[in-house]
Amino acid sequence: MVEHILSILIFFPALAAVLGFVVHKDSVRSYGVAVATIEFMLSMWLWLVFDPTLSGMQFVEQIALVPTFGINYIVGVDGISLFIVILAAFFTMLGIASLGETKNIKNMIITLLFLQMTMVGVFLALDAIVFYVFWELSLVPMLYLIGAWGGPLRIYASVKFFLYTFTGSLVMLVGMLFMAYLYHRTTGNWSFSILEWYRLQLPFEYQIWLFLAFFVGFAIKVPMFPFHTWLPYAHGQAPTIGSVILAAILLKMGTYAFIRFSLPLFPDASVYFMYPIAVLAIIMIIYTAMVAYAQKDIKQVVAYSSVSHMGVIVLGTFALNVEGITGSIFLMIAHGVVSGALFLLVGVIYDRRHTKLMSEFGGLASVMPRYATIFGIMMMASVGLPLTINFVGEFMSLLGFYKQSHILTLLAGVAIIVGAIYMLTAYKKMFFGVVTKDENRNLPDVNKTELLALIPLAIVTVWLGVYPKVLLEPISTSVKPLVEFMHEKAITAEAKARISTMAVKVDNTKIPTGEAH
């Protein structure tokens, strides 16, 4: 069974979703929790049997789909993707367990299980076409979640989300097809295997155009400035579980894809575009932080905050060294935990008051002390308080980029301070002072179901802030040969110089070639 664990992780939720159609609506919530819990336990088993000392792909499975064109079902896992898969399983389980939704609950749980299949598939796929299929399929359940259970502007938000991401994906598909053509022209064989594409030595001009084709698809998904405008609408109109999954997992698809595709395939182009992308990332951090400060709706504050933190992840990714990339992957996990928890917390207060306007609150700390405490922990983690999970990822990402540009890193670091300003201001408006609204005087504090989701997130936030080594070591083991491979593959002197600033040899290990360990 262990040799097929990745396929089980991908398709078990989809199979369970199909069977869910025959489950009685009164039992479907328990059914969904049971399925999601089994999936999470399988992901933890994957971590248990995963060898953190190996840098290559593990548990690789390959099945021919269209042999004539080299399209195969290939999946594998390494330190870069392992913890994002666990995060996806973790949040699906917590999200279904804490669902406050009552309208069409059966359809929602089935949709969430299908969405989980697509998310796990994206992070495990090693064939470009299989990757693309999962990438595109993830749009459908998310579109349905926003459109069926969203707010008053849900149709506009869901259509805008779909059009932005689908358009970017089409440009990315053109890049993938051209990569396959180049591989065929070079070797005489068709292949969409990402690991085989790594071996291609592309001319600089080809790298530039292909990098841009992939960049459009990935940047919209992140979303990077100026492609970010779909996200606040999607978050604002989505139901709580939709916002949680979107922030915790779906946004990570873009930054993960940069590391899996753009950096090893186009090392020279990655260096060439390093500073422009860094500038865009810093604009993301500063601009969205200022917009977050101006918001009156607490959910919009968290939404724009999410975009701002994604800018730090992009900055770490394009540091092109071990510290930066390791930090960016760790920050993907951290951002998922913290932003997911904050959206759950916003959902808690919205269920009670049916408003997200901060002006409608005030003095909640005296009415809902447990809620205020957990919100305070997550808010402090969001602003990067030392000994919380975000601090580790932000520090390493900025440390990595500091080796490329002191000034840009300083700008990014100062911009992060703005995050502390708007989050502390929002917390003050909602929780401190006297209770001014009569509707807030008798609000019930968080119940057992809500605590079931929030307490594990608070524990993870502090645990990985104090002891990040348990994640950093496996991630770093896979990142080091990636950086070394980029350095060896680069053809321009500038790229070799930039990438080699932190290139580290690991027992002469080269990029994984796809063999199972």
Residue 411, judged by CB atoms within 10 A of its CB (0-12, 13-18, 19+), counts as middle
Give residue 188's pLDDT.
Answer: 85
Question: 19: which 2 tokens?
Answer: 């069977």
- CB distance 403 to 320 below 8 Å: no
Contacts of 517 (CB under 8 A, 6+ apart): 51, 54, 56, 57, 58
- pLDDT for 36: 93
Low-confidence residues in the chain, pLDDT < 70? 101-102, 500-517
Please choose, from the candidates 347, 359, 341, 378, the residue with its C-alpha nearest in 3D space to the C-alpha of residue 440: 359
Dmax (CA) for the chain in angstroms is: 75
Q: Tell how strand 71-77 and strand 58-66 pair up.
A: antiparallel
Give residue 101's pLDDT.
65
Put simply, whether the predicted model's pTM sits higher than 0.85 gets the answer yes
Helix or strand or coil: residue 210?
helix
**Listed residue (169, 177, 184, 80) closest to 132, CA to CA:** 169
- pLDDT for the residue 510: 43
Q: Check residue 512 and give its pLDDT.
A: 44
